[in-house]
Chain A
Amino acid sequence: MAGAGVYSHALVRGIPESLAGGALRRSGEGSGVDTARAREEHRLYVKALRVQLGLVVTELPADEALPDCVFVEDAAVVCGGTALIARPGAPSRRGEVTAIKKVLSDLGLKIVEMTDETATLDGGDILFTGKEFFVGLSERTNQRGAEILANVFKDYAVSKVSVSGALHLKSFCTMAGPELIAIGSSDQAQKTLMNMQEMSEHRYEKLTLPDDMAANCVYLNIPTKGHVLLHRTAEEFPDSAKEFGKLKDYLLIPVCNTELAKVDGGLTCCSILFNKAV
């Protein structure tokens, strides 16, 4: 069984030019994405994973036909040597899974596909705590998708939680430690967390962050580094950065994500992390 944050591999994908104009976003307005800057930020992100943390990083080239393809997290859920290929809720994104599936298969993971046409699931709605899954039922993930996930990862409890006011469950709620959940301070984020706690027989600590978006962080447990947390920078979210700063015995890696955030991208969105040692 997999522990929280124990990863050896990462899968990432480049940013297409089409992202600036074609990527989906929840709110119509918003400033334009500076693609160059986005790529630079992404490069630093990948570099942190590969160089700083020593993960085996596989980087897929961007596909111009798929503006959102950088957000690989949504395309698959990997746990314990099994990869469930998602069926993204946004039809325009369904094509993203093809390449992902191939890579994961090549990496030796057991591939499970969602064949049910009524099911939708975005990886961004799947929170794995190390002990169980939570599935956010959102605009992108439906009940059927959640049921399929539950059937694939049989060892674990898979509990559904409702998500509103955000794109994905992980938009405001991610793991920040083995039993530590980073959660935004918005009402709906807090409510969601409460719901999650009720659904679980496991107990979690919570790290409440002033900014919901800052609660999307990437926790890793790297043998040589211990607890590692990739989080949004103090420039972006000064208050939240302070909270991260209070974490003891963590290797904190601030990562800038200003551009992709404009199209609802978070830090977790840009990678699929998994442990191939299983």
Chain B
Amino acid sequence: MTTEPGSDSESKQDQEQKEAAEKKEAATEQEESAEHQQADGVDGIPAAIGTSERKKLIGECEKEADGASGKLTVSQQEDHQAEDDKLSQKSSSSKLSKSPLKGAKRPKNMLCKVTLLDGSEHTCEVEKRAKGQVLFDKVCGQLNLLEKDYFGLSFRDSENQKNWLDPAKEIKKQIRSGLWQFAFNVKFYPPDPAQLSEDITRYYLCLQLRDDIISGRLPCSFATHVLLGSYTVQAELGDYDPDEYGTEYISEFRFAPNETKELEEKVIELHKSHRGMSPAEAEMHFLENVKKLSMYGVDLHHAKDSEGVDIMLGVCASGLLIYRDRLRINRFAWPKVLKISYKRNNFYIKIRPSEHEQFESTIGFKLPNHKAAKRLWKVCIEHHTFFRLVSPEPPPKKFLTLGSKFRYSGRTQAQTRRASSLIDRPAPYFERSSSKRYTMSRSLDGASVTENHEMLIKDSISASEVATGHYGAAKSLVSTNLITTVTPEKKAEEEKAEEEDKKAKTVITPLLTPAKHEIKTDSEQTDTTGPADGETTAESDQEDEMESKIQNSLVERIKGENVYVKHSNLMLEEYDRTQEEVVKHHANINEMKRTFLESTSETGPDEWEKRLSASPVRSFSKTDDLPMIEPLVPEETKADVGEIQQSKSDKQTVATSDTVMKDDGKLAKAEEERKEVDKEPTTSHSTLVTNEIVISKTASSLQEKTVLSTLEETIISKKGATKRDDDEGSLKPKEIPRQKGIEISDMEPAIETSMTKWKTGEEPMFTIATAHYFTETSGSRFLTKQSGSEVTSKNVDVSNLIDSARKQMDGKEWAAASSYSWVQKPDMNLDESPKMVQHEVHKQEKTMEIIQETMVMETQHGMNVHASEDASALCAKLAGVGRETLAEASKAHSSGDARGLSCMATVETKEDKKEEASAKVDQPGDEIVEGPPSAQGWVDQPEMAGKPAEKSETQPQFEPPVVKTESVSFDSMSKEDGKEVCTKDVPVVHTETKTITYESAKLDANAESDPGVLMSAQTITSETSSTTTTTHITKTVKGGVSETRIEKRIVITGDADIDHDQALAQAIKEAKEQHPDMSVTKVVVHKETEITPEDGDD
């Protein structure tokens, strides 16, 4: 166990040194800080720089993974060089002595002192603007250490707290006014040291652990001290030699915080028994024993619980441990932790409900100060990422993000293990220098020799006295203020809704967002946590602070205290909520809103507001206020209340579930739009957010939640562990994508999958799988990541790949979703398994339907239709409509005042071209990444899809592509048919139906002349609260020409307020945009008017 002693001081020597140096540089520091602020603040440009730098760094890391010796080249430094020079002139007198300039034009170098694990001090120079990575690499080079991801550099801040130096940030900005003095430490203690590749790595780990032991950070029993000591002696001195050694030979060794003669005698006794053991073996034994200690690798932080009781929070590989004294009083394994956040000096964790609990709970702890809270938060993020994730999550974009952008950017343990397995060098020779001896005046972390646990605890108490417990006071603030980490597994849909909400808000008050990152404050670091050396950058601190503040204000203005600010946060388990996405959301929201307003100007604003306010997500905010350590009030309850309140604002006083439904619809729309946006070729950032389909409704929020939580759980245990399958086995699809994502790029964290399941109020249940992949940032970046194991291609290809990959996933997801649905549409192919879809995709089938579908859905949303259970019924009814040619979209619909209008547009397309492209698709490997060619087919698609809906023409485009089809077995239909019957009956009873069909003669001929041979059929269905979209794709071969038909059925249910004509036009327009190479052959409008004055809303 390691802890950072609150008052634990560095050696006197160091202190004095430090003080002297501080005086010396006082003037300089002031200047520096002034300049620093200038640079960082005000205009926001520096922020952007920071982002790009980070990206660069990541790129570097990835290169390393590839085997290159990734030294970080900080090209950004050049940008600052001028500044530096200026600075150096100002402060040259004081600085020169410290870091001699090599030349007038050369960047200024700083002398760094690094205390190594054997107690020696390594001195090296780095450029003043160098990032932590530069120094770290130098030190590792000096140590001849390749498995360096377990290690880090630490420094002491002005409060003598230990911080980890962030490799991705400039050293100067992190240490602030401190000395350029660091310590090399183990940051992540490998749970199984035997898995380390090299003895030299184990050696350094041993050195760290010896220091942990004698400093008292890693407590163990007398017997263990003896055993470990004996291995240490064996490793350093070799076999016991009665001639050479008396009983004094080990007296200079240190084995324990408090040594006794007895201990030494026992060590000697055991040492004798180790005869013949090599140093490496002895160290292995040492590690095998030490790793079993309960506090091994536990990074302890002092805190208080809700009642002001002193406790310790221990961060380790497996999760978060709560101690009172040394007694473990609680444990939260990473999979149980949904969210980690901190606010001011409070640290919060949101816990997944256990099997028998229904609700999540949030637990709060009080840390001594803000910096301690943040330090703990960062350590948690890092440990979680390192030990639990396959790859680190991408750093957030700075622009328009809320919350901290801090991420662990190094390798994860999984990655470093992989990399380690590739180490191919003869075991390096290294001298095992003396371990901690009495002659050493200090332990590495500066703790005095007598330091022990008790002391630490006392320290912590005093430290935490500062923190008092006005927990209650901050309640409303908490919800808005928190910088949180969201676990993606978490209610995906809720978060989504939240995000949408938020986004919408952002749009409404655009001013707030931009202001966010411009605000800079100071940041001071306080203590670090025990064992690991962490670095906190002041910069990020500031940002976090500011961001949270902004968030807060934003929220308050918009919504009052009720807004939940979750998204701004990091996610733990997956990457669903990355900042990138958030950014995207912003964009989407804008788009969404625009579309919304345009298409349904009549009802628009009200609906919009309604939906926003109705979002169920909001209810979560209360959780954050929780008193420490006490389980929160069930969120559901709160949620309900909140919703009810919200719905008051609704004119219609809709039921809660209805409100939710609307939100869902909104969400779906948003997602769709996002998709489109992503597809736009012009956007150089090839960020792809793929589908997020929101699905159905909730009768009661309680039910919904239950289902949700189950799902989430599954997601969390993505690692393949236990998937709990719920009502419907909708989990599977998710898993597949996930794996896919992993395959795509090992290094790439940006792919995420989330599945959302909602229950519908009236309908038995709708399950919709949401696949939501998204690839980060720029194409080039993506490339880099891929490079590790995959063949790299051109940028274009990459983006194409991404598209195609996404598509494939989409197809799968959709199919999966449909197959899991309880309520099935008449024309769905329920039997299609994800697998099959995949198969088809690989067989070069075009999956345009997805795009199309997406588009259509969007349109529907735009119409602002209210959801009703009639949708499915209508759909069923319409299923049988024949196909014809479309003349004009506008003509397509008769303007009806029908209460419930259902438009079914059947779009038939024929593809003549693209055969080549398709052919390429069937690459042997299914890996999305694999086939650049496969992307080819999609090149055009995204572009088309990306066009703004408004601009698109109404006229049908006929571009007959030829598609080569391969026979794919499909079976299905039977199921659907059965369903169809059922569904049909329901709505017919009270509706009046009118069907208008427009079809083009030309296509008609084609369609009817020859049935051809059916090669494959696929049905994809998506539903939202107000619309049901069914895409049916059939592939047939007629006389050697393959034809792909895509039929889309869109059922829109809504009030009279809706302009159906417009909605239909929009849908057609968008369909065409998305499938430019397909032609619309038939549009059938089927209207049903409810005879009874029932509202679409239920």
Answer yes or no: do A and B interact.
Answer: yes
**Given the contacts A1-B292, A132-B294, A198-B354, A158 and B221 also touching, CB distance less than 8 Å:** no
B223 contact set on A, CB distance < 8 A: 1, 80-81, 155, 278
Q: Are A80 and B221 in contact (CB under 8 A)?
A: yes
Question: B319, B327, B333, B355: which contacts A147 (Cβ < 8 A)?
Answer: B327
**Chain A, Cβ-Cβ closest to B328:** A159
Q: Are B221 and A155 in contact (CB under 8 A)?
A: yes
A201 touches B (CB below 8 Å): yes
**Given the contacts A1-B289, A157-B294, A199 and B328 also touching, CB distance less than 8 Å:** yes
B324 touches A (CB below 8 Å): yes
A146 touches B (CB below 8 Å): yes
B277 touches A (CB below 8 Å): no
Q: Which residues of B in the span 206-239 have a Cβ within 8 Å of any Cβ on A?
A: 219-224
Question: B222, B224, B292: which contacts A110 (Cβ < 8 A)?
Answer: B222
A46 touches B (CB below 8 Å): no
Give the complex CA separation of A110 and B453 in angstroms: 21
Q: Mark B283-310 against chain A: 1 for CB-CB distance below 8 A, else 0.
A: 0000001001110000000000000000
A81 contact set on B, CB distance < 8 A: 223
Question: A82, A151, A155, A159: which contacts B293 (Cβ < 8 A)?
Answer: A155
Question: B289, B318, B324, B326: which contacts A154 (Cβ < 8 A)?
Answer: B326
Q: Are A160 and B328 in contact (CB under 8 A)?
A: yes
Q: Are A199 and B326 in contact (CB under 8 A)?
A: no
Q: Are A151 and B331 in contact (CB under 8 A)?
A: no
Q: Are A156 and B224 in contact (CB under 8 A)?
A: no
Give the complex CA separation of A159 and B336 in angstroms: 18
Q: Are B318 and A155 in contact (CB under 8 A)?
A: no
Q: Are A201 and B326 in contact (CB under 8 A)?
A: no
Q: Are A160 and B329 in contact (CB under 8 A)?
A: yes
B241 touches A (CB below 8 Å): no
Chain B interface category by residue count: 20 to 34
**Given the contacts A80-B223, A110-B222, A155-B221, A199 and B355 also touching, CB distance less than 8 Å:** no
Question: B221, B328, B329, B336: which contacts A82 (Cβ < 8 A)?
Answer: B221
A270 touches B (CB below 8 Å): no
**Chain A, Cβ-Cβ closest to B293:** A155
A143 touches B (CB below 8 Å): yes
B325 contact set on A, CB distance < 8 A: 147, 150-151
**Chain A, Cβ-Cβ closest to B336:** A198
User: Closest CB of chain B to A125's CB: distance in Å?
Assistant: 13
**Given the contacts A143-B324, A151-B326, A154-B326, A159 and B331 also touching, CB distance less than 8 Å:** yes
Give the complex CA separation of A199 and B219 in angstroms: 20
B336 contact set on A, CB distance < 8 A: 198
**Given the contacts A1-B292, A147-B324, A147-B326, A153 and B331 also touching, CB distance less than 8 Å:** no
A233 touches B (CB below 8 Å): no
A72 touches B (CB below 8 Å): no
A247 touches B (CB below 8 Å): no
Question: B328, B330, B331, B333: which contacts A150 (Cβ < 8 A)?
Answer: B328
Give the complex CA separation of A194 and B356 in angstroms: 10
User: Closest CB of chain B to A85's CB: distance in Å?
Assistant: 17
User: Closest CB of chain B to A79's CB: distance in Å?
Assistant: 9
B331 contact set on A, CB distance < 8 A: 159, 198-201
Chain A interface category by residue count: 20 to 34
A1 contact set on B, CB distance < 8 A: 223-224, 289, 292
Q: Mark A30-48 against chain B: 1 for CB-CB distance below 8 A, else 0.
A: 0000000000000000000
Q: Are A199 and B330 in contact (CB under 8 A)?
A: yes
B355 contact set on A, CB distance < 8 A: 194
Q: Are A201 and B224 in contact (CB under 8 A)?
A: no
Give the complex CA separation of A110 and B266 in angstroms: 15
Question: B292, B327, B330: which contacts A155 (Cβ < 8 A)?
Answer: B292
Give the complex CA separation of A110 and B333 in angstroms: 35
Q: Mark B330-357 against chain A: 1 for CB-CB distance below 8 A, else 0.
A: 1101001000000000000000001100
Q: Are A194 and B354 in contact (CB under 8 A)?
A: yes
A135 touches B (CB below 8 Å): yes
A199 contact set on B, CB distance < 8 A: 328, 330-331
Q: Report whether over half of chain B's contact residues are helix, strand or loop; otherwise say mixed.
A: mixed
**Chain B, Cβ-Cβ closest to A82:** B221
A149 contact set on B, CB distance < 8 A: 327
Q: Are A158 and B326 in contact (CB under 8 A)?
A: yes
Q: Are B220 and A135 in contact (CB under 8 A)?
A: no
User: Closest CB of chain B to A223's CB: distance in Å?
Assistant: 20
User: Closest CB of chain B to A120's CB: distance in Å?
Assistant: 14
A82 contact set on B, CB distance < 8 A: 221-222
Q: Are B333 and A135 in contact (CB under 8 A)?
A: no
Q: Are A154 and B328 in contact (CB under 8 A)?
A: no
Question: B221, B289, B324: which contacts A153 (Cβ < 8 A)?
Answer: B221
**Chain A, Cβ-Cβ closest to B289:** A1
Give the complex CA separation of A146 and B336 in angstroms: 25
**Chain B, Cβ-Cβ closest to A159:** B328
**Given the contacts A1-B292, A194-B355, A154 and B219 also touching, CB distance less than 8 Å:** yes
Q: Are B333 and A158 in contact (CB under 8 A)?
A: no
User: Closest CB of chain A to B311's CB: distance in Å?
Assistant: 11
Give the complex CA separation of A173 and B322 in angstroms: 23
Give the complex CA separation of A1 and B291 in angstroms: 12
A198 contact set on B, CB distance < 8 A: 331, 333, 336, 354
Give the complex CA separation of A107 and B221 in angstroms: 19
Q: Which residues of A in the span 232-269 have a Cβ within 8 Å of any Cβ on B?
A: none
Q: Mark A140-180 against chain B: 1 for CB-CB distance below 8 A, else 0.
A: 00010011011101111111100000000000000000000
Give the complex CA separation of A189 and B462 in angstroms: 40
Q: Are A201 and B333 in contact (CB under 8 A)?
A: yes
Give the complex CA separation of A86 and B293 in angstroms: 24
Q: Are B289 and A146 in contact (CB under 8 A)?
A: no
Give the complex CA separation of A80 and B333 in angstroms: 28
Q: Are A155 and B224 in contact (CB under 8 A)?
A: yes
B453 contact set on A, CB distance < 8 A: 151
Q: Are B333 and A143 in contact (CB under 8 A)?
A: no
A201 contact set on B, CB distance < 8 A: 318-319, 331, 333
**Given the contacts A1-B292, A157-B294, A146 and B333 also touching, CB distance less than 8 Å:** no
**Chain B, Cβ-Cβ closest to A157:** B294
Give the complex CA separation of A80 and B331 in angstroms: 25
**Given the contacts A154-B219, A157-B294, A194-B355, A135 and B224 also touching, CB distance less than 8 Å:** no
Q: Which residues of B in the span 453-497 have a Cβ within 8 Å of any Cβ on A?
A: 453
User: Closest CB of chain A to B1072's CB: distance in Å?
Assistant: 56
Give the complex CA separation of A58 and B233 in angstroms: 38
Q: Are B327 and A158 in contact (CB under 8 A)?
A: yes
A160 contact set on B, CB distance < 8 A: 327-329
Candidate in A151, A155, A198 with the most chain B CB atoms within 10 angstroms: A155
Q: Are B324 and A155 in contact (CB under 8 A)?
A: no
Q: Are B328 and A157 in contact (CB under 8 A)?
A: yes
User: Closest CB of chain A to B286's CB: distance in Å?
Assistant: 14
B224 contact set on A, CB distance < 8 A: 1, 154-155
B333 contact set on A, CB distance < 8 A: 198, 201
Give the complex CA separation of A155 and B227 in angstroms: 12
User: Closest CB of chain A to B1079's CB: distance in Å?
Assistant: 60
**Chain B, Cβ-Cβ closest to A278:** B223
**Chain A, Cβ-Cβ closest to B326:** A150
Give the complex CA separation of A151 and B318 in angstroms: 22
A194 contact set on B, CB distance < 8 A: 354-355
B327 contact set on A, CB distance < 8 A: 135, 143, 146-147, 149-150, 158-160
A–B Cβ pairs within 8 angstroms, 27 of them: A82-B222, A131-B292, A147-B324, A147-B327, A149-B327, A150-B325, A150-B327, A151-B453, A153-B221, A154-B219, A154-B224, A154-B293, A154-B294, A154-B326, A155-B224, A155-B292, A156-B294, A158-B326, A158-B327, A158-B328, A159-B329, A194-B355, A198-B333, A199-B331, A201-B319, A201-B331, A201-B333
Closest 3 CB pairs of A and B: A157-B294, A150-B326, A147-B325
Interface residues of A (CB under 8 A from B): 1, 80-82, 110, 131-132, 135, 143, 146-147, 149-151, 153-160, 194, 198-201, 278
Interface residues of B (CB under 8 A from A): 219-224, 289, 292-294, 318-319, 324-331, 333, 336, 354-355, 453
Given contacts A110-B222, A158-B294, A198-B354, 10 further A-B contacts (CB under 8 A): A80-B221, A132-B294, A147-B325, A150-B325, A150-B328, A155-B220, A159-B329, A200-B331, A201-B318, A278-B223
